[in-house]
Amino acid sequence: MVNVAEPAAAPVVLIGPMGAGKSTVGKRVARRLGVPFTDTDRVIVREHGPIPAIFAGRGEPAFRQLEAEAVRKALATGGVIAVGGGAVTHAATRDALTGARIVLLTVSPEAVAERINGSDRPLLASGGIDAWQTIMDERAATYAALAHTVVDTSRRPMSHVVDDVLRWLQSAH
C-alpha cells in the first residue's frame, strides 16, 4: 500500500451530519494510518465546556467561532480530523478546509435515528429525527460541494467504512 500518511500529506477531514460516525471512523482511520486524530467537538468541550451549555449561554454564532478556531488548530496538527456536523456552515471553517482531503460520511434517517436517540445534541433538543432531517437538508449542498469522496455508513460495519476511506486515500494519492 502506498504510504498515505507521510508528514507532507494533507489532513483528512471527515464531514457529514450528526450521527454519521465521523468520530468512530476518524479514530480508526488515524490508527490505521499511524497519524494523530482530532475530534474538534471534543477539543471544544475540553477547552470551553459542554456544547449544549455553549449554545444555551452564548448562542450558535459564538459556538461556530470556537469551532472554526478548533478546526484551524487541528488542520495545523494534521492527521485525521472529525468536525462537528455544522462546522461547514461557518465560512471561516470552509475556507480553512482548502487543501484538506475531505470525506463526506452519509447516513440514512432510519440508521441515524437509532444512533442519536437520547442524545443531548442541542440542535435536536426539540425535534428529534425531523430536526435532524431538516438540518441535513439545509447542509446537504454544502457537504456535497466540499466533499472529495462520499462514504455511506448507514447499515455497514464501521470496519468496511474505514476500508473504503483508506482505499480512497490510496487511490487519490
Convert the pLDDT of each residue in 117-161 to its tens digit.
655 555 555 667 788 888 899 999 999 999 999 999 998 999 999
Q: Is the pLDDT of residue 8 over 90?
A: no
Full set of structural domains in the chain with CATH: 12-172 (3.40.50.300)
Q: How far apart are CA 125 and CA 154, in angstroms?
A: 22
Q: What is the pTM of this model?
A: 0.89
State pLDDT tens for residues 50-90.
998 999 999 999 999 999 999 999 999 999 999 999 999 99
What is the distance between the alpha carbons of residues 13 and 31, in angstroms, rounded to a whole number?
A: 15
- Kindly give the residue spans of alpha helices, DSSP state H, lying in 49-123: 51-58, 60-77, 91-96, 109-116
For residue 11, the 8-state DSSP code is P
Given a contact cutoff of 8 angstroms between Cβ atoms, the answer to whether 49 and 74 are in contact is no
Joined together, the cell numbers standing for residue 72 give 484551524
Instruction: Tell me the backbone φ, ψ of residue 76, rounded to 5 degrees.
Output: -65, -35
State the pLDDT at residue 127. 67
- Percent of the chain clearing pLDDT 90 (strictly above): 75
